Structure formats: structure tokens, C-alpha cells
A and B are shown apart, each in its own frame.
Chain A
């Protein structure tokens, strides 16, 4: 089965800096990889999906890279703001079925003003 490791449980950075979160996976290479944001007491919210044939994807201040050789995805938030403070989860499909995914334990980002 797929195993996911996210780089650290907690990441603290100063406002305005770039936050970089890591997601490493083992076993087979998935067709795509997703990133979600979760605020305390709430359900995860989908942010970005990157497919195996895409090296990089951007959405506003977010950038995701996907290296299938290294079996790694990097998630960047540029010009970070205190409102970006949350837990970020990466997820991979467990099989070709989109309804079955494996999630990492998440990295909690705190952006200090």
C-alpha cells in the first residue's frame, strides 16, 4: 500500500517569507497528487492537483512541483500571510479509483506577523 511522509509536523515562518512543505511517497507512482488545507475544527479543503506528466502547477501564491523520480512533491506558499496558518495535507489515490485516497499526517504551518 502507499505510504506518505510529510516533512515535519510543524513549520514556523515569518510573514512575507516562502513556506515550503514536502510530501514523499513510497511504492508506485500515482497518476496525480493533491494538496489540501485544513483549519482547526473543519474539514479539509482541496487546493491543487498535479498530474504525473506535470512538473509544476501554480494557483495565485501557491506552487506545487511533482518529481516522480524522487517520489516527492513540494508545496510552496510565497509571500506568506498569517491567514495561511493551517495544516496542509497531501494525498495520493490508492488505486485508479478517485474515491479512494491515502493522506499524509499533515504539516502545521504557522506564519508569524
Chain B
């Protein structure tokens, strides 16, 4: 199993540009989440999904959209990038009731 994969690893955007961060998992996990991590800080939940077709907002959802059309994929869309969205983005998946989350390697995004 590849586990949780994320692309791209690095991205530089100009203010106002849009892009999609990709996340895929091959463990058949129902739950998937997106977090952002700023320097010296913990992870903050952006959006999460409890299954295909079901998504909900986390702590910091503004400026981001998600959709979940399959169990495997959970893309995160930045609608109009802002410098405040400069961060490292992590995708994670988990099995309902198990608790432990499996994280991808992250995408480092810089918005200039």
C-alpha cells in the first residue's frame, strides 16, 4: 500500500491564483481530512469527509473548497490564493472508531 499520497510536494502561487491540492489513499478509509500547519504551530482542521459525497467544515475553512466523489480521493481547492494561505498542508485518513490518523507527506505552499 502507498498509504496517503499528496501532490504536489511544493507549489508557489501568486495572489489571486487558484489551484487544487491532490490527496489519495489506498487503504479504503472512509474518513479523510485536510489540515494546515503554520510554523511552530499544531495542525488546524480545514475540511473533513466521513465518506464519498459527504463533507463538512473544520476550524479554518474560509478560502478552501473540497469535494469527495470517491472513497480514494479528497482534493482541496484554493479559490483565490492569499499570502495568509502560505502553509504546509497535510491530508489524513482514518477508519471510523479506530482514532489513529494516517497522514500524507504534505504540500508546502507559498503564496506571493
- Interface positions of A (Cβ within 8 A of B): 1, 4, 9, 32, 34, 41-46, 49, 89, 91, 93-94, 97-106
Contacts and interface: CB of A to CB of B under 8 A. Distances in A.
B49 A99 contact: yes
B85 to A, nearest CB: 19
B42 A97 contact: no
A88 to B, nearest CB: 11
Contacts of B69: none
Contacts, number: 71
Interface stretch (B14-22, B76-84, B92-100): B92-100
16 contacts: A32-B99, A43-B103, A43-B105, A44-B90, A44-B101, A45-B103, A49-B99, A97-B31, A98-B31, A99-B32, A99-B48, A99-B49, A100-B33, A101-B33, A101-B45, A102-B45
Among A32, A89, A100, which residue has the most Cβ atoms of chain B within 10 A? A100
Which 10 residue pairs spanning A and B have beta carbons closest together?
A99-B31, A43-B103, A103-B42, A46-B100, A103-B43, A105-B42, A99-B48, A49-B99, A44-B103, A43-B90
A89 B45 contact: no
Q: Determine the interface band of chain B, counting residues with CB < 8 A from chain A.
A: 20 to 34
Contacts of B103: 43-45
Among A41, A97, A98, A105, which residue has the most Cβ atoms of chain B within 10 A? A98
Interface of B: 4, 31-33, 35, 40-45, 48-50, 56, 58-59, 90, 92, 94-106
A41 B90 CA distance: 11
Nearest to B35: A103
A94 B45 contact: yes
B45 A46 contact: no
Nearest to A100: B48
Nearest to A94: B45
B99 A42 contact: no
A99 B90 contact: no
Nearest to A45: B103
Contact of A42 (B33, B92, B106): B106
Contacts of B90: 43-44
